[in-house]
Amino acid sequence: MAMSINVDLSGLNNFGSRLEAGQREVARHALAEMDEFVPRDKGHLRDSGIIVNRGKTIRYKMPYAAPQFYGLINGYRIHHYTLLGTGRRWDLRLKGNSAKMADLRHSFVKGAELYGSNR
């Protein structure tokens, strides 16, 4: 009994670029989702977020971004943020929200076109 098997591997040719596109899409979506957790006084810190390194890094350009992110100014802990729900390590607040993380996973699959362009 003879059997024939055909395997189409043409999708692997552009797999790396598709993964990179998915990573950029997740970074774009994560930047937007983290916005509600970033401390805000006049909005300059929230507005300064950019995606760099082909979607591998989100960077905030304001000079006070790092102290706000880590919650330390001159070695002293920041206790009072301007809005309820904002504070240090806003990336972990996003990571702890399972619904938002599910949305990020979906945006990666969509950006990378892992299941074809029709889904």
Quick: pLDDT tens for 84-94. Answer: 889 999 999 99
* The token pair that represents 102 in the structure block: 């599910």
pLDDT tens, residue by residue, 52-86: 998 999 999 999 999 999 999 999 999 888 888 89
Q: Which long-range contacts (CB under 8 A, 24 or more apart) does 81-89 make?
A: 81/39, 82/39, 82/40, 82/41, 83/39, 83/40, 85/36, 85/37, 86/36, 86/37, 86/38, 86/39, 86/40, 87/37, 87/39
pLDDT of residue 117: 53
Percent share of the chain, pLDDT over 90: 66
Region 34-55: what's the mean pLDDT? 92
Specify the higher pLDDT residue, 10 or 5.
5
Specify the higher pLDDT residue, 83 or 117.
83
**57 beta partners:** 52
| Total residues found in the chain within this entry | 119
Please give the span between the terminal C-alpha atoms of the chain, in angstroms, as a whole number: 38
